[in-house]
């Protein structure tokens, strides 16, 4: 017997979250709880505005007939394909169901995802980033200090195309920790990349994420050919069908459960990325611990992980406790 619960809430940021395309104070979220026999699985659909998916879209998708029957399937590929046939269009809703079902599956199997797929890679510690949204010096300093208390030693700096070099130099005055940058499609001219490239290379920037518009393959390819720093696609790659073309241009890809529909398709993307000897980053949409812990199962396949949502949100613990999710 399957029971499905949906809970609408709002993840509230500790600081206003500023990127190239604006500022927001938090993120709408729909939590899912799947009850299956004596087991429970938790999932979430996290809805930043740029996805173009709202709470009502998710709730309507989760009310479609056949979902409970699909969740009864025993194997990941089987339940995912059945769910995909019901929800082919609302990826966060699909992701919430898939991650909840995986939690039950792993609990019943009594193993980790890496052991269940018999992966031959040696388990390693994957570097985790802490995101520094666009901010003034004082706020950036506070964020760096706070992140260090959580144990972070790698930062991802958001750029917006305005005073990028000054922002990077400001960061370096505050911290000697390694860093990556994420422009979120802010640049529209190659000169904007070249203006910071010498600094990035001299300071050993770890990666450059989505510098140009998601459909601008030419500039992204040009930049990747001008630097040894990996240029990573984010918005340019959502689902599996995007991957082959994107990896012809970029050095790697940022895989997110909310973009692709959950753990099952994310696993395929990461395996395909490694098969092409490209770099892999597993990211989040500032999810709570529910979504980020689900993605954490895949970090053994990744060069980096950006799963800092629980630390960026002020009410993460409160919402998880309210649902009965153990932190």
Note down the domain range covering 304.
120-323
- Dist. CA 311–CA 316, nearest whole Å: 8
Task: Please enumerate in sequence order all residues whose Cβ is within 8 A of that of 271, keeping only pairs 6 or more positions apart, or say none.
Answer: 301
* 103/185 same-domain check: no
pLDDT tier, 122 (very low <50, low <70, confident <90, very high otherwise)? low
> At residue 17, does pLDDT exceed 70?
yes
Last residue of a domain, one of 113, 131, 149: 113
Phi, psi dihedral angles at 50 (to 5 degrees): -65, -20
Last residue of a domain, one of 59, 86, 113: 113
* 109/127 same-domain check: no
Query: Which CATH number covers residue 125?
Result: 3.20.20.120
> Contact 104/290 with Cβ under 8 angstroms?
no
* 220/99 same-domain check: no
* 147/226 same-domain check: yes
Task: Please enumerate in sequence order all residues whose Cβ is within 8 A of that of 302, keeping only pairs 6 or more positions apart, or say none.
Answer: 126, 255, 270, 280, 281, 282
Query: Which CATH number covers residue 105?
Result: 3.30.390.10
> At residue 191, does pLDDT exceed 70?
yes
> At residue 124, does pLDDT exceed 90?
no
Q: What is the end-to-end Cα distance of the chain in Å, rounded? A: 26
Residue reference for tokens 């520094």: 132
Q: What is the pLDDT of residues 220-274, one digit of tens each?
A: 999 999 999 999 999 999 999 999 999 999 999 999 999 999 999 999 999 999 9
* 37/83 same-domain check: yes
pLDDT of residue 125: 87
* 158/239 same-domain check: yes
State pTM to two decimals. 0.95
Q: What is the pLDDT of residues 270-326, one digit of tens each?
A: 999 999 999 999 999 999 999 999 999 999 999 999 999 999 999 999 999 999 999
Do the bridges between strand 252-256 and strand 279-283 make them parallel or antiparallel, or are there none, so unpaired? parallel
Angle between helices 91-109 and 76-86 in degrees, nearest 10? 160
> At residue 209, does pLDDT exceed 70?
yes
């Amino acid at each position: 017997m399957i029971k499905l619960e949906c809970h609408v809430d709002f993840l509230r940021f500790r600081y206003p979250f500023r990127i190239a395309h604006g500022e927001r104070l938090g993120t709408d979220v729909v939590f899912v709880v799947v009850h299956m026999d004596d087991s429970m699985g938790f999932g979430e659909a996290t809805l930043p505005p740029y996805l173009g998916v709202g709470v009502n879209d998710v709730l309507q998708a989760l009310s479609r007939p056949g979902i409970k029957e699909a969740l009864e399937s025993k194997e990941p590929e089987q339940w995912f394909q059945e769910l995909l046939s019901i929800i082919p269009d609302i990826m966060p809703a699909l992701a919430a169901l898939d991650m909840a079902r995986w939690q039950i599956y792993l609990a019943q199997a009594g193993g980790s995802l890496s052991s269940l797929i018999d992966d031959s890679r040696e388990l390693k510690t994957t570097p985790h980033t802490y995101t520094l949204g666009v901010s003034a010096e004082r706020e950036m300093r506070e964020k760096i200090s706070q992140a260090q208390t959580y144990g972070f030693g790698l930062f991802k700096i958001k750029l917006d195309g305005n005073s990028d070099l000054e922002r990077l130099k400001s960061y370096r005055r505050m911290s000697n920790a390694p860093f990556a940058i994420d422009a979120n499609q802010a640049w529209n001219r190659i000169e904007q990349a070249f203006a910071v490239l010498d600094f990035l290379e001299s300071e050993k920037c770890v990666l450059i994420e989505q510098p140009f518009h998601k459909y601008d393959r030419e500039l992204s390819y040009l930049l990747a050919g001008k630097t040894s720093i990996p240029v990573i696609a984010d918005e340019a790659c959502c689902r599996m069908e995007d991957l082959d073309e994107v990896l012809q241009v970029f050095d790697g890809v940022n895989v997110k459960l909310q973009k692709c529909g959950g753990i099952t398709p994310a696993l395929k993307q990461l395996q395909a990325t490694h098969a092409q000897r490209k770099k892999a980053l597993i990211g989040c949409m500032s999810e709570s611990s529910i979504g980020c812990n689900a993605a954490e199962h895949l970090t053994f396949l990744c060069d980096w992980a950006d799963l800092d949502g629980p630390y960026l949100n002020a009410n993460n613990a409160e919402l998880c406790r309210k649902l009965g999710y153990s932190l």
